[in-house]
Amino acid sequence: MRINLHVWRQPNTEAKGHIQLYTLDDVSPDMSFLEMLDVLNEQLIQKGDDPVAFESDCREGICGTCGMVIDGIPHGKQSGATVCQLHMRKFKDGDDIYVEPYRHTVFPVIKDLFVDRSAYDRIIQAGGYVSANVGSAPDANANPIPKGIADLAMDAAQCIGCGACAAACPNGSAMLFVAAKVSHFNLLPQGQPEKATRARAMVKRMEDEGFGGCSNYYECEAACPKNISVRFIAKLNRDYLYAAFKEGV
């Protein structure tokens, strides 16, 4: 396959970036998108050019580190998958592919496709935990949890914090991330004592970081590599309303 790759190049946070065209011949359809970028980088290094900086870690679709925007969609056009699980067979010979970093004031570009996503870590620090010391693992049936609730909490806990929701949202809102992180604790008995405080603190941190507000576009849900549902945003809204009455905002 022959691919025309339009890649965002930006040497550092302050520099002004631009789109650079690279043409790659002999791309195998069995390569993952990241392997294709690896091939590009090998060629760039051989020529003495600066390789394209991008993040990757597990390369098996479970960590979300490889978040980047391909043809206007975070993680590319394959639904429910990260970039490393997007294969070149999804593209056609001679395709033009635009590769950009997440564009968000809260996710500044460090270099090329590499952005600083530590704002998500700070949101987790604000309340994405249970502060009681729960000791060692209890018996499985000591704390009865209905199957439906356990499944729902598990669906929320699937969030890998890759940043695609905020990158996809026309408003740059991180509500899907915050909703998933709040919900997976607030659904379970262990999360109940801090339910209101958690919803309030994590939303407040999200606002303080500078993320936008949710307008129910549902673009986050479409881009999410873990298919987190916007129903968790509805749950966060409920929990936040409860918290606002209980503790103020």
Partner 1 sequence: MFKYLNHLVISKFVMAATGAFIVLFITGHAIGNLQIFLGKDALNTYAAFLQSLGEILWAERIVLGLAFVLHIITSIYLKLYNNKVRPTKYAVTKYIKARFSSRTMIWTGIMIGSFLVFHILHFTSRDIDPKYKEMHEVYQDEHASYFGFDETVMQATNANDFGIGMHPIIKQRHDTYAMVVDGFQNIWISLFYILAVILLGFHLSHAIQSMFQTLGINGPRFTPLMIKISNAYGIFIALAFAIVPLSVLLGFIGRGL
Instruction: Please state the length of the chain.
Output: 249
Choose, by CB under 8 A, the member of 72, 80, 189, 193 that binds partner 1: 72
Q: Which residue has the tokens 């993680």?
A: 75
Binding mask 34-63 for partner 1 (x = CB under 8 A): ------------------------------
User: Which of residues 215, 245, 246, 247 is near partner 1 by CB under 8 A?
Assistant: 215
Tokens standing for 116?
A: 């600083």
Considering the complex, what minimum distance in angstroms separates the CB of residue 69 from partner 1? 6
Q: How deeply is 59 buried, as exposed, middle or buried, from its count of CB atoms within 10 A (0-12, 13-18, 19+)?
A: middle
Give Dmax over CA atoms of the chain in angstroms.
63
Site string for partner 1, 13-32 (x = CB under 8 A): ------x-------------
Distances (CA, A) of 65 to 70, 84, 113, 116, 161: 15, 9, 11, 11, 9
- Give the span between the Cα atoms of 227 and 157, in whole angstroms: 11
Residue 92 touches partner 1, criterion: CB under 8 A:
no
By CB under 8 A, is residue 244 in contact with partner 1? Answer: yes
Subset of 175-204 contacting partner 1 (CB under 8 A) = 203
Closest approach of partner 1 to the CB of residue 27, in Å? 20
User: Residue 235 interacts with partner 1 (CB under 8 A)?
Assistant: yes
Give the side-chain half-sphere CA count within 13 A for 89: 4
Q: What share of the chain is helix, strand, coil (3-state, %, to 5)?
A: 40, 15, 45
- Under DSSP, is residue 164 helix (H, G, I), strand (E, B) or coil? helix
Among 41, 78, 171, 190, binds partner 1 (CB under 8 A): 171
**Which residue in 104, 181, 184, 205 binds partner 1 (CB under 8 A)?**
104
Q: Which residues bind partner 1 (CB under 8 A)?
A: 6, 8, 19, 69, 71-73, 98, 100, 103-106, 170-173, 203, 206-207, 210-219, 221-223, 230-231, 233-238, 240-241, 244, 249
